[in-house]
Amino acid sequence: MNVDYYRQRASAGLIITEATQISQQGQGYAWTPGIYTPEQVAGWLEVSKAVHEEGGIIFLQLWHVGRVSHPSFQQDGGLPVAPTAMPVPGKTFIVDETGRGVWGDIPEPQELTKSGIEAIIGDYVTAARNAIAAGMDGVEIHAGNGYLLDQFINSNSNHRMDQYGGSKENRARLLLEVTDAISREIGASRVGVRLTPMGRFMGMGDDTPEETFGYIAEQLSRRSPAYLHLVEPEIVGTVLDEHYDPRWDSIMKLLRERFKGPLILAGGFTYEKAQAAIAEGRGDVIAFGRLFIANPDLPYRLRTGARLNDPDSSTFFGGDSRGYVDYPALVETE
């Protein structure tokens, strides 16, 4: 079914996969995929083959949720990990004793040790190597949406006093070390990075976002990754962000100036808004998520001005083929 889903959407040109955990420790939601076992690598290889057969390009998104997890996902029922032992204001999707998916409380995490951080960097490298073995054209480092790398970046979730906390340079250190390590393993041209500046999902927030994310954009630009992927703050996670910050426009301009490579924008774009963003020079590429779930032939529909299927949000979390591979292509509805 996963192979069918990605094959249906291979006309995207570039597909960035769903978030895929780099380790068992990195899982935070029920029924999400990984890239750390031979069976997972074999499964993703079938996906990449299907996309390539249709002429598409596919990057695997590498994910560690950090504190946004639950003991049921952790080895030996342990606590999730985070830069600082601070609880997250939210819930995660777990499996109850009957096998049903339900929303469960997130416990207070344990603070990562230096050796724990080093192990996670190694897990990212292994995951990137596995992604290439699975036929992927590259990987995207998920450093946004309130997950582990974002937790290190933002000052309100990182209260460390060592080389990974305090200054913007220290809070960005883990992301840059992960980027460098993966780039050494598979090449910088195969590595993209996703950020969510100003996002509030999962309790994120930074005291000086212009300085923090401006520094990160500048440092990433020096490393020449394949692209930088920014999520505009209207959409963070799966809900509308009610805390839109008007500083976003100035931060976006700053990041555009600091990062010299290809810039991808995402965040609830319509076709008209996407065209405007490109025309205004705000970004080079526009990414679509929910619209692509509901419209497997989305590029054709946008080019021709055809009607769009509406996504069914009730099917977004787990389940079967409903809301996954059963959305009709345009030719099937005429």
DSSP assignment string, 289-303 = SHHHHH-TTHHHHHH
Tell me which of 36, 124, 147, 227 is the catalytic residue: 147
Contact (Cβ atoms closer than 8 angstroms) between residue 35 and residue 22: yes
Contact (Cβ atoms closer than 8 angstroms) between residue 217 and residue 259: yes
Burial grade of 49 (CB within 10 A; 0-12, 13-18, 19 or more)? middle
Listed in sequence order, the residues at least 6 apart from 42 whose beta carbon sits closer than 8 Å to its beta carbon are: 134
In the chain, DSSP assigns E strands to: 14-21, 57-63, 81-82, 91-95, 101-105, 110-111, 138-142, 191-195, 227-231, 235-236, 239-240, 263-266, 285-286
Q: Is the dihedral of CA 163, 164, 167, 169 positive or negative?
A: positive
Token pair listed for 3: 């192979």
Token pair listed for 255: 């990041």
**How many whole angstroms separate alpha carbon 46 and alpha carbon 116?**
32
**Whether residue 215 lies in the annotated active site:** no
**How many whole angstroms separate alpha carbon 243 and alpha carbon 45?**
40
Supply the residues annotated as catalytic.
Answer: 147
